Every structure is written in C-alpha cells, then in structure tokens.
Structure 1
C-alpha cells in the first residue's frame, strides 16, 4: 500500500515538473516575441531562455510554431469572453472574426501556414490546426445558437450550414493570405467580408 501511494506521489511530482517545464517554454517564447519576429527565434534560443535541455522542448512541442499557437489560444480565450459582452449576433460574429484574424496576422506567415496544414489534416489527428478549427467552429456555432435563443434569428435558421459557410470564408481568407503574403492584409479581407457578405448572409434569418 505504501509502495502504491509512493508511486502516485512520484507521478504527481513528475506531472508538476512537466507542467512547470511547459510553462517555462511558453514564457520564454513570450519574452522572445517582444524582441524578435517568430522567424528569427530558434529552438536553441528558446531552450536557453527557459533554462531547459533541448530534448525537454520536444517532449512538449514539435516546433516553435506550436508554442506560438499555444500562446495565441490564451488570447482566443479572452476573445471568447469579450464576444459575450457584445450585443447583437452580427456584431458578435464580426468582432470574433476580425479580432481572431488580427491575432493570426500579428504573428507570422510561417505560424499560419503551420496550423493551416493541421486544419486540413484528418480530424482524428489532434494537431494545432485541427484544435484551432474546432475552436472557431464551436464559437461561431455558439454565437448563432445564442442568436436564436435571444430571438435575433429565426428558429429555422440553419446554424450548422451558416457556420460551415463562415468557416469556409474564414479559412479561405487565411489560406489566401498564406499564399499571397504581404500583398494582401488578412484583417482587411475579413473586415470587407463582415461589412458586406456577412450582413447579406444573415438578413434572411433575422
């Protein structure tokens, strides 16, 4: 019995140590991003800043882009809270879509390209891109369902279809930006969509 308890305590300590290492990596990347662009940051710099072995980095992340996306998810969580304080389903959707791509654009093309690869991978593979896709899908769907609950949208509104249409537009814009790079602003593309096409998309259900 004491042996089992001891093993559990050791496992708990190992889990705490692993969590602490992951936090160190994330914090190191946050600090480096204040000084450099994502492309300029190397794994060696991250591990040196975090005071960990290089192998410890790969225990938690496959690449630096995955760390940056993890940091982004912290911002996405705040974004979700912000949306709940906005009145109006169209305004909520516009805010979510525009602010979300601002987070993407502020990082780099390499980060966006990395999670776009994951987004088109089989959904059974838990990659950064598929996690982001599910997060966006669930949030857009939630906003639309809330619009029905608040009687801003008709009960017959095809929320799943509308969500898919918005997701196609959203990820299509990100894909275009990944290809064209600095030739087009991702935020401008999404602002144009929200100002014109989103309004038309919703008007038959309001």
Structure 2
C-alpha cells in the first residue's frame, strides 16, 4: 500500500482558498440567485483576488459543476458500504438513504434549487444531470446489472434503468425544493422510493404481509 505524503503548506493554502471561493459563491447564490451574483462579489466575500478565482474556476457555472463533483465523490466513498448489502434491492435502498441524507445535510433546498435552475438554463451547456459518465449512473447501473444477473431486477439496459430511477428521484427532490423543505425528505423520500420507484425496477412484486 502506497502511503500518501502530507500536503505541502502551499497546497494546503490552495485547497483552503478554493474551498473559501466555493462556499462564498454558494452562499451568495442562495441569498441572491445565481444570475444576480458577480465574480467580483464572490471574490470580495471570499477575501481573495479576482485572479485567484480564475486560478480555480473559469466561470461561475464551474462552481455548480464542482458541487456535482463533490456529490459524486460522496457516492464513490460510500460505494463499498452500499455494496455490502446482500442483494440489489437492499443496495438500491442503501444508496437512496445515503443520497437523501447528503442532500438534506450538505445541500438543503436552496442550494438544490440553484443547481437545478442552472442545469435547466439554456445559457449553460454543461448538463451534468443528464451525464451518463457520472459516478451516480455508474454505481446505480452496476447494482442493477448485478440484480439482473441474479434475477432480482427486471431486464433492460442497466444504464437506461438507472436513468429512469434517477429521473424519478429528481422529481421528488424538485418537489421538496418547491415546498421549501417542508416535506420530510428522509421519511417521505424513502417511502416514495420503496413504494413507487423500487417496485418498478424489480423482476417480481413486493409482497406485503
């Protein structure tokens, strides 16, 4: 096993500057809306120069891309825990629990609204939500493919089924954002997934006692 060397002081400072810019931008986006915030405002709030912003990000939209990258990094870190579940259905349930917890704890409805608004804008070309290369799609399609091999998940293109599942959950997340967080995202989200989304993926019906 290769040991990781500690980061140099310069790299630690660069990481901290990048984090400060990201957090300041998201805070301003939540307060004013994405289009109403300038790069000058972001750098002022972060306490850095405009040149520092362009060292890490080319445009404001790169902040949104970075947030999606952090979400996918989280899924990747949780992959081994998810795959320890015994079958495809329980793995999909475990994935959804992690997903709901991350959105509730790390995003909130305001940040989620900003991410969605940005992705729906006709002015920005990087549509991460529909990107099949995301860790989210790779992980869910892998679980589905394994479930198909064992006969637990319905047949079909695993990537397409993963996209259907993700579209369904995005509909719930959008409703949560529209309600300004008044919906219990953890409780109602798991009920929505378990009673409506998961049964559509299974090769056999869920039997309720």
Tell me the TM-score normalized by structure 2. Answer: 0.65
| Structure label with greater radius of gyration | 1
Q: Trace 1:181-200 onto structure 2 (pairs within 5 A).
A: 181-200=180-199
Q: 1:109-131: CA deviations, max 9, x gaps? A: 23212322354468x93355455
Cα distance in structure 1, aligned partners of 2:120 and 2:15: 28
Return 5+ residue gaps in structure 2 as ranges: 1-9, 32-40
How many pairs align?
Answer: 180
Q: Which residue of 1 aligns with 2:17?
A: 25
1:31–1:202 distance in 2 versus 1, CA, 3 Å: closer
Q: Which residue of 1 aligns with 2:155?
A: 157
Q: 1:3-45: CA deviations, max 9, x gaps? A: xxxxxxxxxxxxxxx987762334447998xxx99947x7347
User: 1:69 touches 1:111 (CA, 8 Å); kept in 2?
Assistant: no
Deviation, structure 1 residue 170:
0.8
User: 2:176 touches 2:183 (CA, 8 Å); kept in 1?
Assistant: yes
Q: Which residue of 2 aligns with 1:109?
A: 109
Q: Which residue of 1 aligns with 2:38?
A: none
More helix by share: 1
User: 1:37 touches 1:108 (CA, 8 Å); kept in 2?
Assistant: no
| Alignment pair present for 1:54 and 2:46 | no
Return 5+ residue gaps in structure 1 as ranges: 1-17
Cα distance in structure 1, aligned partners of 2:85 and 2:45: 38
Cα distance in structure 1, aligned partners of 2:132 and 2:203: 29
Name the SS of the counterpart of 2:181 in structure 1. helix
1:60–1:132 distance in 2 versus 1, CA, 3 Å: farther
User: 1:115 touches 1:128 (CA, 8 Å); kept in 2?
Assistant: no
